[in-house]
Amino acid sequence: MKIVKHYLLSWGVNTIGNWSDREFIRFARMPYVIPMDAFCEEGFPHTPEAIFRDFPDVFSPAYEESAARYAKGLEAFAQDPYLIGYFMRNEPAWAFVYGLNIAEEMLANPAQTVSKDVFVERLERRYGEVSAFNEAWGLELDSFEELKKGIYKAASLSERAAADLQAFSEEMITRYVEIPARELRKVDKNHLNLGMRYAYITDKSLLCGSENFDVFSINSYQITPLEPVEQVSGWLDKPVMVGEFHQGALDKGLTAHGIRGVTTQKERGCAYRYYVEQGLTNPYFLGAHYFQLNDQSCLGRFDGENYQIGLVDVCMQEYADMTQAMRECHEGMYRVAAGEQAAWDRVPEDIEPIHY
């Protein structure tokens, strides 16, 4: 732990990133962040019946009960002055779909959920007679209850169907965020809610509920973070944090680059500076967490990843070309952010990565 803390300070790293060892966090006495779903046995709040992938039945009382249990994991950290804030979860599986309409998936799912009951009740109140509903949606149902049996791709039925489903989808995503966010805030009013660490923005509806975040977080394995930061900040007047990025090379260490590949360790340093300093040219860019400190196992971690992405190798020896570039980047980063120093502008030798 002494060696790791020495490394972090010598490289100019100012935050202990997500998923870090709790014993090390206590020892280091440095600013840090935590993944909230890792401090509850149940993980992120869920319900017995899911709507789509890991998206829960957000109108069910079980979701509120699960959220209250989830928030208790924050109690041990609520008074810690070294805690910057917490991520609510990482890369929700339901969000990996472009143009996703959660309400449409809910209707296609034959499971009987509270959310579906609420939606059908809303439609009955809005349209009154099933004949009026049928005309608006292009259906021939005998009753509103028939909706609960399941309809595939309902948003394609008519413009009114698409609008009704989109509105309810956005309401569901808002509840997905705000119910656990509210419970977390009850436990801890002192620290920042750092959002969901979405993998990428597949649809603008992913921004629903973001008024509950202090910071919008996204994982970005692009050559710079500017595209997602500009995309999100164009919609929200809110700081944006990158939860993960990395670059790997095969001239030393393991046999896979990771998600982003460059030619050499020297180019890894160039890529790091280019990523961070280009990001600093946008005033909404709060910062980025590098993933990860050490190389992965040559035999692969739990899912097979065996990436050369570390700042140190398996013998705890630093990749000097990479870490020297980090030092230089961090020494000048506040001047870059203030516009007093030009951002690093040499584009790294980016190559097709070997990963999955």
Per-residue pLDDT reduced to its tens digit, 246-300:
999 999 989 999 999 999 999 999 999 999 999 999 999 999 999 999 999 999 9
Helix, coil or strand: residue 307: coil
Fill in the DSSP letter of residue 344. Answer: P
Q: 201 and 233 in contact (C-beta within 8 Å)?
A: no
Three-state DSSP class for residue 201: coil
Give CA–CA dist 231/50, Å, rounded: 30
* Residue 253, pLDDT score: 87
At residue 144, the pLDDT reads 97
Q: Is the distance from CB of 23 to CB of 1 less than 8 angstroms?
A: yes
pLDDT given for residue 89 in this prediction: 98
Q: Which residue has the tokens 């949606």?
A: 137
Both tokens of 243, joined, read 């939860």
pLDDT for the residue 314: 86
Percent helix, percent strand, percent coil in the chain, to nearest 5: 45, 10, 45
Distance CA 112, CA 53 (A): 15
Q: Do 54 and 46 form a contact (C-beta atoms < 8 A)?
A: yes
- Nearest C-alpha neighbor of 168 from the set 152, 178, 155, 180: 155
For residue 121, the model assigns a pLDDT of 98
State the pTM of this model. 0.95
Give the chain's residues under pLDDT 70.
Answer: 356
CB 305 within 8 A of CB 257: no
- pLDDT value for 347: 97
Report pLDDT for 134. Answer: 98
pLDDT digit string, tens, across residues 304-339: 999 999 999 989 999 999 999 999 999 999 999 999
Tokens of 204: 């603008």
Strands 261-262 and 350-351, how do they pair? antiparallel
Q: Answer for the pair 322, 265: CB distance below 8 angstroms, yes or no.
A: yes
